[in-house]
Amino acid sequence: MSQRKGKQKEAAKRRAGISIRLQLTVGFLIPVLFMVGIGLISYTKASEGLIRNYEASACTVLEMTMASFDEAMQTISAITLELAQDKTVNSYALGGYQSDTSKQGQAKTTISNNINVKQTASWMIESIHIIPVDGVEIITTQRQEASGMESFIGEMKNAQEGELLADGYLHWGSSHDFVDEKMNTGDYILYCSRSFNSGDIRGLILVDVSEKAIADLLSEVDLGPGSYVSFITAEGREVSSDASFSAKDLAQINWEGGADYVDYQGQKYFYMTAVSSVTGGRMIAMVPKSYITKSSEEIRNITLILVVIACAAALLISTCVIAGISGNIKRSVKRLDEVSKGNLAESAKREHPAHNEFGKLHEAMSNTVVRMRELIQAVSDMKDEVLSSGDTVMVSGNELSSLIESVSMQMEEINDIIALQNGEVTECNGQMEELSVQIKNVSSSIFNTIENITNSRKMIDDGMETVDEMARQSRQTADATREVQEHVMRLAGKLEEIAEFVSDIQNIASQTNLLSLNASIEAARAGEHGRGFSVVASEIRSLADDSARTAEEIQKIIEEVSVYSHSAIQKVEEAEGISKGQMESAKHTTAAFHQMNEIMEGLVESMQQVTRDVDEMNHDRKQALKSIHSIGESSGSTVKAADEVRSILESQMQSAESLKAETGRMKENMRQLEEAIETFKL
């Protein structure tokens, strides 16, 4: 009983672990955590996508604004070119009507009407000025009092704006101070000018771009609250949508174009820049990052609210589910604890389990307890009958064991007589086996000798093949040596031919040297007229000396090569003699191997005769051994039969002992079963 209680305690310790409530709680929390993760990832991705889309659309808006600005500037460039190429404007501005006051007045009226019309063609134009030659009145769309002003183009040539008159190209700029001083021009931010001339006489077309028009264009760019848009000319003049903002103060901006984030007044701004392809000016827009991320923050708040609601719903549902599961498990555990203590009695209280899996489990467990109670009751009823049958089996086992011991003693006496006969046969058999071993040893030695002789013959054959290969290689070496000797002889012949050519070169150099000497003498006779020829003769003599020295060097090299050639021929002859000696040695070696092979064949025939004699002796030995084996087999069969009978008796003896032991264990088990049944309350 104490052992059973100890096992129950150990089983309870092993079952102790993480509770079902905790496991289910963790199981519900994991999807909740996944939902939180999904919410965070969704917010991050949505935020990044919104920011990228806003940045791209903002850059597109700025580029479109710059494109609109460039289109307006191209229109102004076209108006400036058209006025500079107008014949009436050219004639008036270059003084073509100074002699005719009537035509000059008509031309002035025509030009005034024309420039007024062109000013209305572009909402960006502040005013148009036509500055003619000195002595002719300026035509402008600015104010009436400026129209009667005489030209000051002569003074303008010496001012800073004089560079506008230097060529006939279009010029874009930000300010013309001299013209402003003379004409008191209006508010402008840019101007476009082009001069035209007839000889040294020049006129100038000047079109001012309205600062207010550009400010209106910038104000139309709506990038959100707190945004700034500014335009800066190539000379640094700036107009902004907000008077308090100046883009020139931002040192971190890349003015060559692009977009990035920058710090301004303690906040993070997204800036974009665009460069005008017409004027060279730059447009910059700055948007607060907080405005860009405003939509993503709203998504974040909505996501957080939904995640919190989902978490609360999950926790509520999990609490209800866990409570139901926990109640069913507690009832089941309580009933199992009672069963583990031996209480199988039917409960007086009628339980109504839930209609779910845990309720079905509790009902199945209750049915199992009922079946266990019925089984233990049946076992208790049968234990007395099993104990009575065990006593009867034990008595029968004792009688069988006594009978088997008597038969076993008689079989031992028969086995001793047969063993004595079998010993004598075994001794005779051993002597024959020793003779057989000796014959086998002799036969094995003979076979080993024959095998060694066969291997020796194979080695002799291999040696003969090797000697033949050496002879063949010696012949190839001799052939190669003869070819080398022939090539060296041919080389010696070629060296002799080269020596003849060198001799001819030496003769030519000598003749050339003599001719140069004669030429020098003739040049000396010619005096001043032959000085050039003397230089040529000196060069020819120098060339002849160099040729002679080169020929001598070649002659020395040929002599050295000839010495090496003769030495090589001698070495080749010596090698040829050695090759012939090797061939003779190979022939003698081959003959010796043939003699050794004949001796080995005679020895093999002798050993084979000895082998045949040994085989006849072995045949006689086998006949005698066969007779002895027949006698031994007869005795062995008798001994084997006796052993089998004894083995059967021993097996029956062991079975009887096992039967008695099993009967004793069965009685002990039935006693323990009776004690175990008594622990249950039925």
Residue in the block written with tokens 């094995």 = 444
pLDDT bucket at 204, cuts 50 / 70 / 90: very high
8 A C-beta contact, residue 282 and residue 273: yes
Q: Which amino acid is at 241?
A: S
pLDDT recorded at residue 87:
92
The residue ranges of DSSP E strands in 367-438, in sequence order, are: none
Listed range (122-131, 259-268, 431-440, 459-468) with the worst mean pLDDT: 431-440
Mean pLDDT of the chain: 75
Measured distance CA(168)–CA(274) in Å, rounded: 29
Measured distance CA(670)–CA(383) in Å, rounded: 7
Q: Which of 122, 96, 126 is nearest to 108 (CA)?
A: 96
Measured distance CA(429)–CA(452) in Å, rounded: 34
pLDDT recorded at residue 555:
75
For the question of whether the overall pTM of this predicted structure is more than 0.75, the answer is no
Q: Is 256 helix (H, G, I), strand (E, B) or coil?
A: coil
Listed range (17-21, 492-496, 508-512, 663-667) with the worst mean pLDDT: 17-21
CB-count exposure of residue 156 (10 Å: 0-12, 13-18, 19+): buried
Measured distance CA(221)–CA(210) in Å, rounded: 18
8 A C-beta contact, residue 233 and residue 279: yes
Report phi then psi at 187, rounded to 5. Answer: -80, 120
Q: How many CB atoms lie within 10 A of CB 124?
A: 24
Listed range (448-457, 540-549, 639-648) with the worst mean pLDDT: 639-648
Largest separation between any pair of C-alpha atoms in the chain? 176
What does the block give as tokens for 624? 């005698």
Report phi then psi at 424, rounded to 5. Answer: -65, -40
If you average pLDDT over residues 270-275, what whole number do you get?
88
pLDDT tops 70 at residue 82: yes
Question: Within 13 A of 384's CA, how many CA atoms are on the CB side?
Answer: 4
8 A C-beta contact, residue 541 and residue 549: no
Beta partners for residue 678, in sequence order = none
Report phi then psi at 127, rounded to 5. Answer: -165, 160
With a pLDDT cut of 70, the percent of the chain lying above it is: 62
DSSP-derived secondary structure for 139-171: EESS-HHHHTPBP-HHHHHTSGGGGGGSSSS-E
CB-count exposure of residue 164 (10 Å: 0-12, 13-18, 19+): buried
Residues 95, 96, 99, 101, Cα dihedral to 10°: -90
What does the block give as tokens for 367? 């049915």
Sheet strands side by side (includes 258-264): 238-240, 228-232, 282-288, 267-275, 258-264
If you average pLDDT over residues 535-542, what whole number do you get?
76
Total count of residues recorded for the chain: 682
pLDDT digits (tens, 9 = 90+) for 105-118: 899 999 989 999 98
If you average pLDDT over residues 600-629, what whole number do you get?
69
Q: Which amino acid is at 354?
A: A
pLDDT recorded at residue 406:
67
Measured distance CA(475)–CA(432) in Å, rounded: 64
Measured distance CA(306)–CA(35) in Å, rounded: 10
pLDDT digits (tens, 9 = 90+) for 209-257: 999 999 999 888 888 888 889 998 988 888 988 878 887 777 667 666 6
How many angstroms separate the Cα of 63 from the Cα of each of 261, 311, 458, 558?
Answer: 18, 47, 98, 87
pLDDT tops 60 at residue 1: no
pLDDT bucket at 383, cuts 50 / 70 / 90: low
Structure letter (DSSP) for residue 233? -
